[in-house]
Amino acid sequence: MSLAAQARSALANTLAGLRGSPATSAIAAVTIGVCLLLVGAFALLVSNMQSILARFGEELHVVAYLEPGIAQAPLAALMERALAHPGVETVEYVSAEEAAERFRSTQPARAVLLDGLEENPLPASVEVRLDTQHRSGEAVSALSQLLVGLPGVAEIGSGNEWIEGYAQAVALIRSIGLAIGAVLGLATLLIVANTIRLSVYARRDEIDILRLVGASRSYVASPFLLEGLIEGLAGGLLGLASLGAVWSGVAPMLGGGLTLLIGDSPPRFLSPSASVWLVAAGAALGLAGSAAALLQGRERSR
């Protein structure tokens, strides 16, 4: 039998097996879909949080909030000393009025808070930005230590502690997602393996006949491997579609919760490459489950 004829025969046997056990095949596909839905949800959360973390890392800088009425001499000395520090890229003075305008432009929904006050509560400040090579927690801490206690400096702010805590939260969520994904993946493998094992058992007479007429092991196993692969692909597509439906329906409703977790930038769905990897993971789960079932069946037949 030619290779093309073997492929056609394997595909026909695979489709016959899927038609012969639609319920168990559907259970396997749905199980894979649910597994990938949960794993994809964690991947979505982590990817969005990482993008926010990267954005804040690019904007990492030190702000020296100034005492009211600071004289020109200590202000100039402060800016000169900051500019001389290794790794400093720019030093900018921001007046109280400019700070208020920034607040109104970046937080339009909260601008009414300033309008209700008789005096501007925002202090003048000096913003010190580091170059790309020095945007690290250690460099920010060193710069903060340099500026703290200088004449005219009321307080130092950098957001470094917030970013480090946020990075720890991202790492924790990633670890939880990996752990849940491993458990769900193992459970899915067992379910798919049991599904294929039932299919093998239901067609044991056909398999015995094929072996008697000299069919190779690969020829006998290929329909079951294809069956698992198709179930995995169906489960992957189901998981991706379900994740997209949940994302489009729930993301606009979460509002402030999403803002708290991932910041002010609009949340993004999985990239095309990540979506392909999610579907491919479903196919791999189905194929691995089929292979495990066939290996276990071979061991038992010895």
The closest alpha carbon to 174, from 57, 42, 52, belongs to 42
**What's the CA gap between 79 and 77, in Å, rounded?**
6
SS3 sequence, 12-52? HHHHHHHHHCHHHHHHHHHHHHHHHHHHHHHHHHHHHHHHH
**What's the CA gap between 23 and 13, in Å, rounded?**
17
Give the burial string for 25-38 (b: 16+ CB within 10 Å, else e).
Answer: bbbbbbbbbbbbbb
CB 65 within 8 A of CB 154: yes
* pLDDT value of residue 159: 63
* pLDDT value of residue 211: 64
* pLDDT value of residue 180: 80
Residues 6+ apart with CB under 8 A from 298: none
Low-confidence ranges of the chain (pLDDT < 70): 1-21, 53-60, 107-117, 134-137, 158-167, 199-220, 251-266, 296-302
* pLDDT value of residue 165: 67
Does the CA dihedral 122-128-130-134 come out positive or negative? negative
Verdict on whether the full-model pTM lies above 0.75: no
Each domain of the chain, given as residue ranges in start order, spans 3-55+164-301, 61-158
CATH 3.20.20.80 assigned to domain 61-158? The reply is no
Expressed in angstroms, the distance from the first to the final Cα of the chain is: 28
* pLDDT value of residue 237: 93
